[in-house]
Amino acid sequence: MTAPALRTQALVAGYEPDLPIVRGVDLTVAKGELLVLLGPNGAGKSTLVKAIAGVVPIHSGSVSLGERDITRVPTHRKIAEGLAFVPQTENIFATLTIHENLQLAAAVLPKTERANKIAALYARFPDLATKPSRLAGSLSGGQRQMLAVARALIVDPPVLILDEPSAGLSPKIVAEVFAMLKTINADGVTVVLVEQNVKAALAIASRAVILVEGQIRHEGEASSLLGDPLIAKLYLGTSQPHTAEHQ
């Protein structure tokens, strides 16, 4: 049996040593999966993915990426090892241009590879290619998310984790962002998607995990959760998209 793409075992994590927010999470993400992580506000979804990415302290338990234990690997090396993370906020540099944002992300690559990788991303995100000298801060919400995802993809990561990429976007733009994620997943990237936009996320996901009070409360096929009104009522709250105020 091959190792899962990403796995946490008995993971306990949080901002203060005596205050665990993630309280013993065993999460297994198979290679090629598009997993959606759902749960009410404050459940600890962001804390869980931030702990996996290395930006929130891990108190105990482990995180592995493929065969490798990356529990104690510093964040920048996790990226180099193939774990790409698009945080919920501050995922681009607003005062830099599109091109400068991509150049900064490419700095982890050998010099000779950078230009080719950036060119490949422009081919994948033609919307960014038409205006490389625009300031990232002047882009629309959807374009910013595209740029944040492009930055994350520069290292050809096997695993891409995104924290609420649909926050604050209109339903039409959410559909575009999700279609892009589906394509990335179809190209072989394992995707973990934290979402509040329940219906749209379940529609593109293969499997869903529901986190409540820092623990996994339920997991199953995305399609079966989509059709389960009790689950929706109990754990998922509203399926309305977030408003900008939540960010």
Q: Which stretches of the chain bind Mg ion, using CB under 5 A?
A: 46
Residue showing the smallest CB distance to Mg ion in the complex: 46
Closest CA to 153 of 109, 88, 203, 200: 109
Tell me the closest approach of the beta carbon of residue 214 to Mg ion, in angstroms: 13
42 binds ligand ATP (CB under 6 A): yes
Binding residues among 51-90 for ligand ATP as defined by CB under 6 A: none
Strand pairing category for 58-65 and 68-69: antiparallel
| Binding partner selected for residue 21 from ligand ATP, Mg ion, none, CB under the kind-specific 5 to 8 Å limit | ligand ATP
Could you tell me the smallest distance in angstroms from the CB atom of residue 44 to ligand ATP?
4
Selection from ligand ATP, Mg ion, none that 162 binds (CB < 5 to 8 A by kind) is none
Please state, in angstroms and rounded to a whole number, the distance separating the CA atoms of residues 215 and 157. Answer: 27
Q: Nearest 5 degrees, angle CA 14-CA 20-CA 26?
A: 90
21 contributes a contact to ligand ATP by CB under 6 A: yes
Residue 86: exposure state from Cβ atoms within 10 A (0-12, 13-18, ≥19): buried
Give the shortest CB-200-to-ligand ATP separation in angstroms: 15
| Cβ proximity to ligand ATP, 13 vs 189, nearer residue | 13
Closer residue to Mg ion, CB minimum distance, 32 or 87: 87
Q: Does position 47 bind ligand ATP by CB under 6 A?
A: yes
Asked whether position 185 contacts ligand ATP by CB under 6 A, the answer is no
Give the total of residues touching ligand ATP (CB under 6 A): 11
Q: Which of 8, 46, 166, 185 binds ligand ATP (CB under 6 A)?
A: 46
Residue whose pair of structure tokens reads 């607003």 in the numeric block: 94
Question: Is 241 among the residues that bind ligand ATP (CB under 6 A)?
Answer: no
- At residue 215's C-alpha, the angle toward residues 236 and 212, to 5°, is 25
- Which residues sit at the interface with ligand ATP, rule CB under 6 A? 15, 21, 39, 41-47, 196
